[in-house]
């Protein structure tokens, strides 16, 4: 079978799932129309003023919030930069070192913002990060205050964009926070639609401010997925937009965010990505299986891969998960098509992603708390539009594997089978 045939059969079947399921009462509650692949014409273009070619694939790096939260300091950022290099993560593609909330100080009489005492010299910090071949990210809010109560950018958008540029910032996460109460709820208390228009205008305002500088700055929207941000994010210059509330380092949070992504595939593409939040790999009490599944599925979703762990004290197991080149290659695949959830059976979900050149990635996730050998899962290749046997690579064992229709799979609790199937010859 030729490459295109494999691809089109799979696409055909993903769409035909819709038809089958529409006449099947017990699956009728799913938002079936979302299984349709994105019509090319509706995929938003890379925004016209894109000066940011690196966002052609999902951004990769590290962000301070998930591990350090409000405690982050200049030294932590330098350590993170050092460790990205020393651990091999930089070589694997992790380039952005992002300072999240709590770096902000006060504005002077002219409105110029300073960093606070935890960050004595932002320009020197940016120079340090750049000297390692990495890029620096920063954080602000369209409201008067950030989520942690520090100074936001309201009425200072151009001034702040110029400040970031003067420091050498390469990435901005712009977090709604107090804009909601201080502006939206205050100016249009009973008019939700007007509130949403204000929010969109605020994101567009910072987009214009960033574009008015000469520096390419990745623009990351953080407003928790409200008002179908995936529909308008690209129009306000967003390279990525959060699709959910805050992730936590536990299975419930990760799995519920994963499920919220089903149906959003059509909105992502080169230069504009759905962001199911930063990685918790290596944080909390996640098991190795949970870390693997989290990382694999964020790669399947073409999510930004922003590690959020303590890089100085990373275990070899966590490091090898975060630097699995085969899994990273799925995330960074140049076709930029997100995975779709093809089907679920009981506590097992099967996702598939089209890759460039006609290759495919298939992920099987056991979301259950057990998987006894008396209850194997039977993989249906037919439901993926595929015919076995199919040779591929198991991306966690690194070994060749063969998928056959109705094969039995016994996955440990919260573990994943992730297989890349090359294009058929
Ligand atoms: C919000 C965001 C988080 C983080 C914090 C910082 O909760 O969603 O990712 O940036 O603010 O205060």
Average pLDDT over residues 157-182: 98
Average pLDDT over residues 207-217: 96
Q: Which protein residues are within 6 Å of ligand 1, measured from CB? A: 65, 100-101, 146-148, 175, 222, 246
* Mean pLDDT for all residues in the chain: 89
Q: Dump pLDDT digits (tens) for 341-390.
A: 999 999 999 999 999 999 999 999 999 988 766 678 999 999 999 998 99
Q: Please indicate whether residue 275 is annotated as part of the active site.
A: no
Residue 23 confidence (pLDDT) above 50: no
| Least trusted range by pLDDT, from 166-170, 205-209, 375-379 | 375-379
Tell the residue nearest (CA) to atom 1 of ligand 1.
Answer: 147
| Least trusted range by pLDDT, from 6-20, 114-128, 352-366 | 6-20
Q: How far is the CA of 370 from the centre of ligand 1 (A)?
A: 33
For residue 127, give every residue at least 6 positions away whose Cβ sits within 8 Å of its Cβ, in sequence order, or none: 168
Q: How far is the CA of 84 from the centre of ligand 1 (A)?
A: 22
Tell the residue nearest (CA) to atom 6 of ligand 1.
Answer: 101
Output the CA torsion 43→48→51→55 (10° steps): -10
Catalytic residue among 50, 82, 246, 310: 246
Tell the residue nearest (CA) to atom 3 of ligand 1.
Answer: 246
For residue 75, give every residue at least 6 positions away whose Cβ sits within 8 Å of its Cβ, in sequence order, or none: none
- Is the backbone peptide bond immediately before 168 cis, with ω within 30 degrees of 0? no
Residue 50 confidence (pLDDT) above 70: no
Rg (CA), the chain: 22
Q: Which of 175, 178, 180 to mutate to test the pocket of ligand 1 (most atoms within 8 A of CB)?
A: 175
- Coil/strand/helix, residue 63: strand
Rounded distance between C-alpha atoms, residue 332 and residue 303, angstroms: 9
Q: Dump pLDDT digits (tens) for 132-147.
A: 999 999 999 999 999 9
Residue whose C-alpha is closest to residue 11's, from 385, 419, 425, 424: 385
22 compared with 38, residue with greater pLDDT = 38
**Residue 110 burial class via C-beta count within 10 angstroms: exposed 0-12, middle 13-18, buried 19 and up:** exposed
Rounded distance between C-alpha atoms, residue 266 and residue 36, angstroms: 8
39 compared with 327, residue with greater pLDDT = 327
Q: Please indicate whether residue 175 is annotated as part of the active site.
A: yes
Q: How far is the CA of 69 from the centre of ligand 1 (A)?
A: 9
Q: How far is the CA of 73 from the centre of ligand 1 (A)?
A: 16
For residue 164, give every residue at least 6 positions away whose Cβ sits within 8 Å of its Cβ, in sequence order, or none: 138, 172, 213, 215, 217
């Amino acid at each position: 079978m030729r490459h295109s045939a494999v691809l089109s059969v799979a696409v055909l079947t993903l769409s035909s799932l819709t038809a089958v399921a529409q006449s099947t009462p017990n699956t009728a509650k799913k938002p079936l129309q979302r299984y349709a692949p994105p019509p090319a014409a509706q995929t938003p273009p890379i925004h016209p003023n894109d000066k940011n070619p690196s966002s052609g694939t999902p951004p990769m790096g590290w962000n301070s919030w998930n591990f350090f939260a409000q405690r982050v300091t200049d030294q932590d950022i330098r350590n993170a930069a050092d460790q990205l290099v020393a651990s091999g993560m930089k070589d694997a593609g992790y380039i952005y070192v992002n300072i999240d909330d709590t770096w902000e100080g006060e504005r002077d009489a002219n409105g110029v913002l300073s960093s606070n005492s935890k960050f004595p010299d932002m320009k020197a910090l940016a120079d340090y990060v750049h000297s390692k071949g990495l890029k620096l990210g920063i954080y602000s809010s369209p409201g008067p205050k950030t989520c942690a109560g520090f100074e936001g950018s309201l009425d200072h958008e151009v001034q702040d964009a110029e400040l970031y540029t003067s420091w050498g910032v390469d990435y901005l996460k712009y977090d709604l926070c107090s804009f909601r109460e201080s502006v939206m709820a205050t100016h249009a208390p009973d008019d939700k639609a007007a509130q949403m228009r204000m929010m969109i205008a605020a994101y567009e305002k910072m987009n214009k401010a960033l574009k008015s500088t000469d520096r390419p700055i990745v623009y990351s929207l953080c407003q928790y997925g409200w008002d179908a941000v995936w529909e308008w994010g690209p129009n306000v210059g967003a390279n990525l937009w959060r699709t959910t509330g805050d992730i936590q380092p536990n299975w419930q949070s990760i799995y519920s965010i994963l499920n919220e992504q089903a149906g959003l595939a059509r909105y992502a593409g080169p230069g504009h990505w759905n962001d199911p939040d930063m990685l918790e790999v290596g944080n909390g009490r996640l098991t190795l299986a949970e870390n693997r599944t989290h990382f694999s599925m964020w790669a399947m979703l073409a999510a930004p891969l922003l590690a959020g762990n303590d890089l100085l004290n990373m275990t070899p197991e966590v490091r090898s998960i975060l630097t699995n080149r085969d899994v990273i290659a799925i995330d960074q695949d140049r076709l930029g098509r997100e995975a779709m959830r093809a089907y679920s059976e009981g506590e097992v979900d099967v996702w598939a992603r089209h890759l460039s050149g006609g290759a495919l990635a298939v992920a099987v996730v056991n979301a259950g708390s057990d998987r006894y050998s008396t209850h194997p899962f039977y993989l249906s290749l037919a439901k993926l539009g595929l015919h076995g046997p199919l040779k591929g690579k198991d991306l966690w064992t690194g070994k060749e594997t063969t998928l056959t229709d109705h094969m039995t799979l016994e996955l440990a609790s919260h573990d994943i089978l992730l297989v890349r199937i090359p294009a058929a010859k």
